[in-house]
Structure 1
Amino acid sequence: NACVRAVVRTAIFKGLEVYGVYRGYEGMIEGDIKRMHSYSVSNIVQRGGTILKSARSEEFRTPEGRKKAYNNLMKHGIEGIVAIGGDGTFTGAKIFFEEFGIPTIGCPGTIDNDLYGTDYTIGFDTAVNTALEAIDKIRDTAAAHDRIFFIEVMGRDAGFIAVESGIGGGAEFVMVPETATDIEGVVKSLKNLRKTKSSSIIVVAEGDDAGNAEEVMQKVKSKIKDTSKEFKVTTLGHIQRGGNPTARDRVLASRCGMAAVEGLLKGEVNCMAGVMNQQVVYTPFGDCIGKTKPLIEDHLKLIEILSI
């Protein structure tokens, strides 16, 4: 919403007419397009989600569907598009630009933080802080009852949420899709940690190679065979995708929204507006989609060092 607000108000500030396309590409195909004004985005910067809604669109995957979308844009005299989303959104935008040539710039909207071309994505910081709040509360229970908690966070293909919430939450272990999980090593370390700690927190990204939190817990439990130790699993699920955005997310979203409009006016096309090293950068959709954004290696080292 902060990004939508920034796009609308920057466009108006620059003397442009701006329209909102509701329900993503599906709304574009169905003509669910409405003129927006400054007051259209009042009182939304603090709200999670999107007032424009979102939707999957199988029809947009077809040439016929994209032609319908193009025709609807032409009816409104639309000359440029700002698309907020991740890989799927940008893949669609890239194909649409190649077919019809409407200048398009994307804004990185995904909690997973896995888009190449920006240090952080819109929604990531809020998701991390939501997970962190839950981890803090679970640690109180873990410590009071001498338990080992396995906490599952989102991250089917990327472990950014797991790593940052794990560091911030003081987790003993963090398991992510980018690295192979050594169950035997985890078991050995847990046994050693029992000499100095009565409880442990293990953060598991949902896409870890050893399985989800429940599966990892069962594998660890079967090897420890300590009936005095309680093993618990908490899956945080979709609470990570909602809630009021953090200040960091609101600022990032606002910067990307403004940069998208300014980029279109400067002739940038078929790319994403992101922020790297505090500077706005424009990265081709092909790179955003095709290149892998690596985890920060020092973060993984930090987890190991701080867990002793």
Structure 2
Amino acid sequence: MKRIAVLTSGGDAPGMNAAVRAVVRKGIHSGLEVFGVYQGYQGLIAGNIKKLDVGSVGDIVQRGGTMLYSARCPEFKTEEGRQKGIENLKKHGIEGLVVVGGDGSYMGAVKLTEAGFPCIGIPGTIDNDIPGTDFTLGFDTALNTVIDAIDKIRDTATSHERTFIIEVMGRDAGDIALWSGLAGGAETILIPESKEDFQDVLDRLKSGLARGKKHSILVVAEGVATGDEVAHALQEEGIDNRVTVLGHIQRGGSPTAMDRVLGSRFGGHAVDLLLAGHGGRAVGIRKNEIVDYDIMEILKEKHEIDMNMYQLSKELSI
């Protein structure tokens, strides 16, 4: 293998730039020519592919987002669209592709692999919802962004003696809500993986008020309900509250040291796999060890949240 390429796809995540930098520099160090595909699969179909050198990825390890940009691409879901992408890769003599993104991006890599083009997946999503890895790129940074917001909101909640509801991202996964809620000392955490009885939530809040508790923080994952829906339900029970929807602020910002190191390790391992002639693999981390697995098999599995951690959060919020 002499030429490889890298692209980022789906929602941006802090640490993607670190992964791109690692793929480029590890590839060049190993004697490869490395190309960047801009605007994800859309750029692959459009042929927006450029050769990268060491300087192309200078001063990006500390930046959030992705220097290669990202875009949604319904056309890539068609066989015709994927064939255009493969033809554009072959025009540049590219023999392997590293895809940084979430489960939708992985599905594109699976389709390319099935068509005979070797791909390696790197998990890049703040949701932390990719099976086979303890952590995904961007999760730690997003988590720290949320915790910082919780700390600030708690100051106001304390000053005004009021319940605050904080809606966080995560799609159908509750990792951001659970980890940030536990770290931020939230009194209530609502996650999709647990069908919490809302009456229990009310009882817990009212119990706190009855014993003199003057404020509460409730973290809700977007996969459960909107912050406004929870606020309305509480208001009907006479619990005054305010809502904060953190939204896309969770995706941006300079990546933490963990995400920079994780992206570097993921990118380096992806290049090693391509050099060894392996395609159709996905990179992950287990117990601080970099691992890889069959990308076509991993998408058949279901992401699991740590329910022991969830139980602990309830025990600590008495």
Same fold, TM-score > 0.5, yes or no? yes
Deviates more, 1:46-55 or 1:290-299: 290-299
1:141 matched to 2:151? The reply is: no
The equivalent residue for 1:243 is 253
Q: Cα deviation per residue 1:93-121 (whole Å; 9 max; x = unaligned)?
A: 1011111x111101000000000111100
Match of 1:216 in 2: 230
What TM-score do the two structures reach when normalised by structure 2?
Answer: 0.93
1:161 to 2:176 alignment: yes
* Distance in 2 (alpha carbons) for counterparts of 1:5 and 1:155: 26
For 1:15, give the aligned amino acid.
G
- Secondary structure at the aligned position of 1:113 is classed as coil
> 1:124 maps to which residue?
139
CA contact (8 A) 2:112 2:118 kept: no
Aligned: 1:255 with 2:255: no
- Write out per-residue CA displacement over residues 7-51 of structure 1, whole angstroms, 9 at most, x where no aligned residue: 000000110000000001111111100000011000000000000
Deviation at 1:196, TM superposition (A): 4.2
Q: Contact 1:259 / 1:273 at 8 angstroms: preserved in 2?
A: yes
CA contact (8 A) 2:234 2:241 kept: no
Provide the secondary structure at the position in 1 that maps to 2:299: helix
Match of 1:198 in 2: 214
Backbone CA RMSD of aligned residues: 1.0
Contact 2:157–2:163, Cα closer than 8 Å, also in 1: yes
Identify which of 5, 25, 40 aligns with 2:56: 40
Within the candidate set 106, 110, 113, 1:94 is matched to 110
Q: Which residue of 1 aligns with 2:308?
A: 298
Alignment partners' CA distance in 2, 1:98 and 1:167: 41
1:73 corresponds to which residue?
Answer: 89
2:94 and 2:244 mapped to 1: Cα distance? Answer: 47
CA distance in 2, matches of 1:198, 1:183: 20
The 8 Å contact of residues 163 and 217 in structure 2, kept in 1 or not, is answered as yes
What per-residue deviation string (whole Å, max 9, x for no partner) do you get for residues 137-161 of structure 1? 0000001111000100002200000
- 1:57 aligned partner: 73
- In structure 2, C-alpha distance between the alignment counterparts of 1:247 and 1:131, rounded to whole Å: 17
Provide the identity percentage. 52
* Partner AA of 2:213 in structure 1: K
CA distance in 1, matches of 2:110, 2:185: 41
Which residue among 7, 18, 27 is the counterpart of 1:11?
27
Aligned residue among 163, 167, 171 for 1:152 = 167
- TM-score for the superposition, normalised by structure 1: 0.96
Residues 1:270 and 2:284 aligned together:
no
Quick check: 121-130 or 284-293, which moved more?
284-293
Write the deviation string for residues 263-282 of structure 1: whole angstroms up to 9, x where unpaired: 11123221211111111111
Distance 2:140 2:213 in 1: 29
**Equivalent-residue separation in structure 2 for 1:145 and 1:220 (angstroms):** 17
The answer to whether the Cα contact below 8 Å between 1:80 and 1:103 also exists between their aligned partners in 2 is: yes
Q: List structure 1 runs of 4+ shifted beyond 6 angstroms.
A: none
Contact 2:118 2:279 in 1 (8 A): yes
Partners of 1:155 and 1:207 within 8 A in 2: yes
Q: Which letter maps to 1:25?
A: Y
Deviations 1:174-198 (A, max 9, x none): 0011111211111111111111421
Deviation at 1:288, TM superposition (A): 3.0
* Contact preservation (8 Å) 1:61, 1:92: yes
Q: How many residues align?
A: 301
Deviation at 1:123, TM superposition (A): 0.3
Q: Contact 1:6/1:258 (CA < 8 Å) preserved in 2?
A: yes
Alignment equivalent of 1:279, drawn from 265, 278, 289:
289
Query: How far apart, CA to CA, are the structure 2 residues paired with 1:109 and 1:69?
Result: 21
Partners of 2:285 and 2:277 in 1: CA distance? 18
Paired residues of 1:183 and 1:219 also in contact (CA < 8 A) = no
Is contact 1:158–1:177 with CA below 8 Å preserved after alignment? Answer: yes
